[in-house]
Amino acid sequence: QVQLVESGGGLVQAGWSLRLSCAASGIIFSIYHMGWYRQAPGKQRELVATITSGGSTNYADSVKGRFTVARDNAKNTVYLQMNTLRPEDTAVYYCHAVRNAGPVVQEYWGQGTQVTVSS
């Protein structure tokens, strides 16, 4: 059974930092591309950051320079370090795992963790 379990969310003030973690089980973590997405109330889910199985990273323009995604394959965990948080970063943050297995795309989502940034 595949599980992606996020942790580290919470309520912080603007300008503070948080680090989210996503622990994966039931998959060969090292071969999956990992990502963080977020969904604010009334808005569509949007990409925040991704990290490929090879370690290449990509960020949404809104978080570049403030957020850093990293992975530890030995711990089957992907992280999102969020600095200089803003009220507009308030959302539920979801962990995502994906890989192309021939004609099939295998992907999984975590249950989400709430991040609330007060002004």
Per-residue model confidence as pLDDT tens digits over 40-79: 999 999 999 999 999 999 999 999 999 999 999 999 999 9
Residue with tokens 């622990």: 23
Q: Return d(Cα 4, Cα 80) in angstroms, integer.
A: 14
For residue range 87-117, what is the model confidence (pLDDT) as tens digits? 999 999 999 999 998 889 999 999 999 999 9
Assess contact for 17 and 84: CB atoms under 8 A.
Answer: yes
Residue with tokens 């992280």: 79
Looking at residue 54, the DSSP 8-state letter turns out to be T
